[in-house]
A and B are shown apart, each in its own frame.
Chain A
Amino acid sequence: MSVVQRTWSLLAVPLIAIVMSVVVGSIVIIASEWLVSGELQPGLAVDAFTALVVGAVGNERVIVDTLVTTVPLLLGGLSVGLAFKGGLFNIGAQGQFLMGALGSVIVGVQLREAPALVAIPAALAAGMLFGLAWGFIPGFLKATSGAHEVVTTIMLNYVALAVLAAAVNGPLNVEGSASPITPDVGNAALPIIVGTDGHLGLIYAPLMVLVYGFLLFRTTRGFEIRVVGSNPDAARYAGMSPRRLIIWTMCAAGLLAGLAGATDLLGTTHQMASSYGTTVGFDAIAIALLGRTSPIGILLSALLFGAMRTGSAQMQIAAGVPAELVGVLQATILFFLVASPVIVRRFGIRGAKAGLEEAATITGTYGSEAVR
């Protein structure tokens, strides 16, 4: 197979999905404007998507913004992608992200006057550790009791929200502030390397893509993860311990999502208000699926989602279309990805790799007995 054929086979379905999301998004914009105001404005869709693109890559400043938004999405996407490789569905990246942000703000505030060389690594490590712990729980529960991570991680997302609220309203709150908020992380804030907001994460997040690829495809542990993900019985037969690998994979996924949260907090918000929240956890699922769990794929789809999230603000201002449209685009992309086997067959798109076989074993472990 030539390089062109191979590239086409991998890119065809994601590209169709992205194009269809623009088509469906346009229809939704025009139809909902018509329902709300009673006027039919086909031009509005063009305006909205133009504003989206301009707001994402129109000038140097917004390009940096897009890259900064991409960083936590990329790390989150790697978290979900790694779990997929191991046959696990990490819907809990959301909660692990929040816990990672919490861990980094706790340590960051403590070390806000310490030298940056101490404060930054310590705060990042705390974020990763908190995320790891939040990933360990569903991994441990799945390995020992068989409770499926789809249910337990969602529950833990809500628990994480409550923990955050309790921390920000309680011990972390600045005395006398109008609304609950933590102090600034001071010296633990990530240094700015590009423009006004381009922080250190722009360097280490791409490095994590390399680590992800190296771990999965160049190490024994990565091989074991992939075998357990595609066939747990074969893994057990070959002398691997699926139970240990499940826990290991969920811990690593939690660590990555925790790093995403720590990066967002130390790099962008620098403090945590009680309204602190994120959409990274769910974006990350879409990113991992769109990128077919491959390192390059996740990098590219994280850039796409970073651009959409950044550009949507401009779209709301310039065209009056709510930024929540990104959710509609995301849903359409995912729908066409999952429905791709039928679409590829129906329209005879030759050589395109359809479906999501990377994530084919998820339902196989649903409701199963404890992993042996």
Chain B
Amino acid sequence: MDQFLYSIPIIGIVFELVGYLIHVLPDISPIILRAATPIAFAALCGVMCERAGVVNIGIEGTMLVSAFVGWTAGVYLAPVLGSDPTFFFGASPALIGALVLALLAGVLVSSVHAWLSISVKADQIISGTIINIAAFGVTGYLIALLSQSSPTGAGQFKQFQPPDVLTSLPGIGWIFETLLNQGPLTISLLVIMVLFQIWLFRTRWGLRVRAVGEHPRAAETVGIDVIRLRYRNVMLGGILAGLGGAYLSMEGTAQFQQEMTAGRGFIGLAAMIVGRWTPLGAFGAALLFASATGISQSILIAPPPGQLGDVLHALPPQFFDALPYLVTIIILAGVVGRSIPPAADGQPYEREAAH
């Protein structure tokens, strides 16, 4: 049987690829989780907004602003508050202060989107796009101005070192390594994702959010303030997007680069759709999209042997840069028709006129 399968080159290569992936999974799974973190935060932001009926295309821009503010605030706070890393995730007072400001920036940017889409009742996709263009323009201008003096930031959060007892367990040690050998923002993602899932589907508050996203008129008749709830959710979404942005410039790297979000906000939106507007599903989809990054890195660092290696070697290296985006398009196109958004998603809410 094996002989027969391997005699057909394509099937042989597919088998080799699956074998290779199983072989490297323990090594690349921490990389995948790290790559998934900003995407998953973006996706959670999307769930937070769209479950309440507000489409947020501006996640990308919100993340970019938070990444910028996190890094820049570090530059200014480091001499004032001190930037000596402590044992706790390498956090310093400057770094924590900068994180708080990054999250506030996320809330501020998303409240602009909230105002435009809830109060002004502008088209929500146009509004979100303007957030993106504005974030790109403003951070581009400010970083051009700041980098004239090439300042140093406040460093970055460090990874937690899980005890060897856990990570050296046979068979499952790599799972602990994946989940725990991470920085504070990645670990907080895991906690927030679970809490968010429970909050949305197991509590009164979550029920209210879903009611507003499905049928705001009915929600209003039972006494829910639709406008207020939407504002609140979009601003909470700003914190989530802010965490994703802060990850980029404060945990994943220790610097800000122009356009460093590189489409992750949009990949997050795709993850939200593929994950059917649930926190757990969105996280799973983010992992799926991020695995393209992890696999690409693994292939570049430790290429597989044999026929598969020859095939991969023949591909231009840029193929692997494009892989996460291609995977996103393909999965989105395959799933989207069967994934139903909240019924009132994207529709501005008009209070009935008082008579």
Contact = CB atoms under 8 A, between A and B. Distances in A.
B123 A151 contact: no
Contacts of A170: 316
Question: Interface majority SS on A: helix, strand, loop or mixed?
Answer: helix
B306 interface: no
A147 B337 CA distance: 8
Given A158-B321, A159-B325, A322-B145, 8 more contacts: A32-B145, A155-B267, A162-B318, A285-B133, A328-B137, A331-B134, A334-B133, A338-B126
B328 interface: yes
B341 A367 contact: yes
Interface string B202-238: 0000000000000000000000000000000000000
Interface stretch (A69-77, A242-250, A354-362): A354-362
Contacts of B334: 145
Contacts of A339: 116, 120, 122
Contact of A282 (B123, B133, B146, B339): B133
B130 A159 contact: no
Contacts of B7: none
Nearest to A137: B329
30 contacts: A32-B141, A91-B129, A145-B334, A150-B266, A151-B269, A151-B332, A155-B267, A155-B270, A156-B329, A157-B263, A162-B321, A163-B318, A166-B317, A169-B318, A322-B145, A324-B137, A324-B140, A324-B141, A331-B130, A332-B134, A338-B116, A338-B127, A341-B120, A359-B126, A360-B123, A363-B55, A366-B125, A366-B341, A367-B336, A367-B339
A147 B329 contact: yes
Contacts of B133: 282, 285-286, 327, 330-331, 334
B77 to A, nearest CB: 14
A309 B341 CA distance: 40
Interface in A296-328: 322-328
Contacts of B329: 141, 147, 152, 155-156, 159
B27 interface: no
A44 interface: no
Contacts of B121: 341
B138 A32 contact: no
The 5 closest A-B pairs by CB, nearest first: A327-B137, A331-B134, A162-B322, A322-B144, A367-B341
Nearest to B116: A338
Interface residues of B, number: 55
A364 B123 CA distance: 9
A342 B119 contact: yes
B113 to A, nearest CB: 10
A166 B346 contact: no
Interface string A258-271: 00000000000000
A28 interface: yes
A165 B332 CA distance: 25
Nearest to B124: A363
B146 A36 contact: yes
A217 interface: no
A328 B134 CA distance: 7
B160 interface: no
A288 to B, nearest CB: 11
A141 B336 CA distance: 10
